């Protein structure tokens, strides 16, 4: 996996790929798997009260959701794909969630959905719910952007100066914080990619056969 990619640079790449998928029905789409340098981003529903208490800069973006943090040790996935049903956004988000849940299962972690709260969570009796993956997407003309962020081995201190995802009564955790080991975004990336392929495929528009393939 390459060095962390500046958030704005990755956002520009997403928009470029988004335009390419829109322009070419035969383009099967793309999934970017990467890390970012330390960055706070604010989705469309972010409130002023959610922003960093210390004045840390925030990048306002066009995804859904609220405020979150990205940084080294966190695995980010941005699918830029054409949906079979552009209105089935909830099903698409569910596919992202299930890919994360299946990835965590391979790592010995039970991830789950929590009613009314986006992302994937780890529930432990007697303890506050802890979020391990955030999801925020944007769908334009049936093609997706943005995606998910899975906490693998990142630090948690940056979450202490914000209200992550607008949630005040829960915590945040990481893969290594739960099971230890030497897991990194690079080691987890192939697992997540495999599960994304499995769960996204039913959500995607079929790619038209090329003229050459049709003639064979």
Q: Which residues form the catalytic set? A: 165
Q: Which tokens go with 139?
A: 């769908």
Pairing of strands 67-70, 130-140: unpaired
The rounded distance, in Å, linking the Cα atoms of 96 and 147 is 8
135 closest CA partner among 180, 171, 90: 90
């Amino acid at each position: 996996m390459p060095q962390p990619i500046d958030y704005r640079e990755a956002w520009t790449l997403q928009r470029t790929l988004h335009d390419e998928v829109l322009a070419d029905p035969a383009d099967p789409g793309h999934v970017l798997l990467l890390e970012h340098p330390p960055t706070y981003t604010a989705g469309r529903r972010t409130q002023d009260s959610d922003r960093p208490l210390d004045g840390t800069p925030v990048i306002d973006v066009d995804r859904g959701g609220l405020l979150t943090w990205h940084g080294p040790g966190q695995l980010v996935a941005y699918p830029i794909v054409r949906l079979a049903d552009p209105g089935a956004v909830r099903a698409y988000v569910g596919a992202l969630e299930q890919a994360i849940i299946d990835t965590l299962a391979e790592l010995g972690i039970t991830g789950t959905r929590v009613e009314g709260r986006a992302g994937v969570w780890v529930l432990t009796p007697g303890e506050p719910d802890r979020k391990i993956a955030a999801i925020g997407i944007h769908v334009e003309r049936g093609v997706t952007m943005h995606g998910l962020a899975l906490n693998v081995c990142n630090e948690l201190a940056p979450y202490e100066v914000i209200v992550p995802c607008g949630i005040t009564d829960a915590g945040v955790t990481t893969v290594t914080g739960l099971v230890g080991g030497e897991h990194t975004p690079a080691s987890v990336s192939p697992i997540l990619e495999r599960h994304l392929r499995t769960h996204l495929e039913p959500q995607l528009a079929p790619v038209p056969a090329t003229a050459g393939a049709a003639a064979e």
